[in-house]
């Protein structure tokens, strides 16, 4: 369980509270196209308002690369947040984030009021965790609260550097929820514990596989990475995604799983295509029997049924990474079958951000999951067993 000081452990009455949120929302023509992250930030903001704090919000958006980019201004976020909160969120337009405008806006605040600073990545030092910008941010506040799980795996000024110059650094409700769910699922799961890993490459999931092999009862592998396992076992994979350099690693993982008594499931069959296109010709073949010129783009129906059955036996399921190229409808069935199996079970179901979260939401199963992480990279590093710098920087209870 999280042993960090939270917003429930601090008294912010009359104090200036700097809150690092994750307002990195997608925008098209100045309009927010998905406001999940804004909604997810509301409980902490409302709590601090209700407690009489002067609430100063900050966040990054996109990659302005250290200079002001009007299309990446947080101004539209302030407008939408005002509506969601039912009270004004004053936007402190300021090219240097903590410049004269921001300082004046903060100085004029009354208890319970809210100000939003400009995109922290307008400053080049932000992503380098530079001292000057960290100090500037800290100078605005009495207390710091980090509620941005999506950037917790990075050490930046606005989530890590700033904590060195404030007396109190706590975590917000969203951060706490993420860490409680992910932490409990991985370190204290109700068993059987099944993890499902997919996505494109073995190489990007190595540490996750290794860490999870020490924790799970069953590890299910799908997606592009399954073909490296199939090749390592002597199969033909055609022109499927393959990382030759990782074949030996794949064999080692199979051996490690056996030694640890972990069931490691690989696809039995695959939907293959003669082109990387939704309009390609397709067929279903057994694993390791992909003809030259064809590539595996999804798990096959027998595999989907096996994986769905396996999910039914679990009390805890963690899922990260699609089972195939789900962006193309003809190769989405495997990912959909897994999503449905998770939606139908009473087990604790945790979706580790990124593509799997998008797939679950797109299919309308979002509210059937126990927890969908708001951080793709951060949740992956969590599953790797790493300590996230953004979490580590908060004060212990």
User: Considering the rule CB under 6 A, would residue 96 count as an interface residue with ligand AMP?
Assistant: no
**Position with the least CB separation from ligand AMP:** 199
Q: Pick between residue 188 and residue 203 the one whose CB is nearest to ligand AMP.
A: 203
User: Considering the rule CB under 6 A, would residue 381 count as an interface residue with ligand AMP?
Assistant: no
Tokens for 43? 């409980």
Q: Pick between residue 223 and residue 300 the one whose CB is nearest to ligand AMP.
A: 223
Q: How many Å apart are CA 63 and CA 36, to the nearest integer?
A: 20
CB of 297 to ligand AMP, least distance (A): 5
Site map 260..299 versus ligand AMP, x via CB under 6 A: ------------------------------------xx--
| Bridge partners for 265 per DSSP | 220
CB of 200 to ligand AMP, least distance (A): 4
Tokens for 358? 């998008």
CA distances from 191 to 101, 177, 187, 316, 371 (A): 54, 21, 11, 6, 17
Q: Pick between residue 189 and residue 267 the one whose CB is nearest to ligand AMP.
A: 267
User: Considering the rule CB under 6 A, would residue 241 count as an interface residue with ligand AMP?
Assistant: yes
Tell which positions 199-228 bind ligand AMP, by CB under 6 A. 199-201, 204, 223-224
Tokens for 51? 């407690």
Query: Which sequence positions are flagged as catalytic?
Result: 37, 201, 354, 377
- Candidate residues 64, 267, 322, 390; the one interacting with ligand AMP per rule CB under 6 A: 322
CA distances from 311 to 51, 59, 83, 181, 221 (A): 43, 37, 41, 18, 13
Tell which positions 329-358 bind ligand AMP, by CB under 6 A. 354-355
User: Considering the rule CB under 6 A, would residue 325 count as an interface residue with ligand AMP?
Assistant: yes
Q: How many Å apart are CA 336 and CA 322, to the nearest integer?
A: 9
CA distances from 338 to 196, 307, 321, 326, 369 (A): 9, 7, 11, 12, 12
What is the DSSP track for 40-54? HHHHHHHHHHHTT-E
The answer to whether the CB of 64 falls within 8 A of the CB of 72 is yes
Q: Pick between residue 138 and residue 299 the one whose CB is nearest to ligand AMP.
A: 299
Q: Which residues bind ligand AMP (CB under 6 A)?
A: 199-201, 204, 223-224, 241, 296-297, 321-322, 324-325, 327, 354-355
């Amino acid at each position: 369980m999280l042993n960090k000081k939270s917003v429930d452990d601090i008294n912010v009455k009359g104090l200036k509270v700097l809150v690092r949120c994750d307002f990195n929302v997608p925008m098209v023509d100045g309009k927010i196209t998905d406001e999940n992250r804004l909604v997810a930030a509301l409980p902490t903001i409302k709590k601090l308002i209700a407690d009489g704090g002067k609430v100063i919000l900050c966040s990054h958006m996109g990659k302005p690369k250290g200079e002001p980019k009007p299309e990446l201004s947080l101004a539209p976020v302030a407008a939408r947040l005002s509506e969601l909160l039912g009270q004004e969120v004053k936007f402190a337009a300021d090219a240097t984030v903590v410049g004269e405008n921001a300082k004046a806006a903060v100085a004029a605040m009354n208890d319970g009021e809210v100000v939003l600073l400009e995109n922290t990545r307008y400053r080049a030092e932000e992503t380098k965790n530079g001292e000057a910008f960290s100090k500037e941010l800290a100078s605005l506040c009495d207390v710091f609260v980090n509620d941005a799980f999506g950037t917790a795996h990075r050490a930046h000024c606005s989530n890590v550097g700033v904590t060195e110059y404030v007396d109190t650094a706590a975590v917000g409700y969203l951060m706490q929820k993420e860490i409680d769910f992910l932490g409990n699922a991985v370190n204290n799961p109700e068993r059987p514990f099944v993890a499902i890993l997919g996505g494109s490459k073995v190489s990007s999931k190595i540490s996750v596989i290794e860490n999870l092999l020490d924790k799970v009862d069953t590890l299910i592998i799908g997606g592009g990475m399954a073909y490296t396992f199939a090749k390592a076992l002597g199969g033909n994979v055609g022109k499927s995604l393959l990382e030759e350099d990782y074949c030996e690693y794949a064999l080692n993982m199979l051996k490690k799983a056996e030694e640890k008594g972990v069931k490691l499931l690989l696809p039995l069959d695959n939907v293959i295509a003669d082109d990387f296109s939704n309009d390609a010709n397709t067929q279903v073949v057994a694993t390791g029997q992909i003809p030259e010129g064809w590539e595996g783009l999804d798990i096959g129906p027998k595999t989907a049924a096996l994986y769905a059955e396996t999910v039914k036996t679990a009390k805890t399921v963690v899922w990260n990474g699609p089972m195939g190229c789900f962006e193309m409808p003809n190769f989405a069935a495997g990912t959909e079958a897994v999503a449905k199996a998770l939606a139908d079970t009473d087990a604790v179901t945790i979706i580790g951000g990124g593509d799997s979260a998008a797939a679950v939401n797109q299919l309308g199963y979002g509210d059937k999951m126990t927890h969908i992480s708001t951080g793709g990279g951060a949740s992956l590093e969590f599953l790797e067993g790493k300590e996230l710098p953004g979490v580590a920087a908060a004060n212990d209870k």
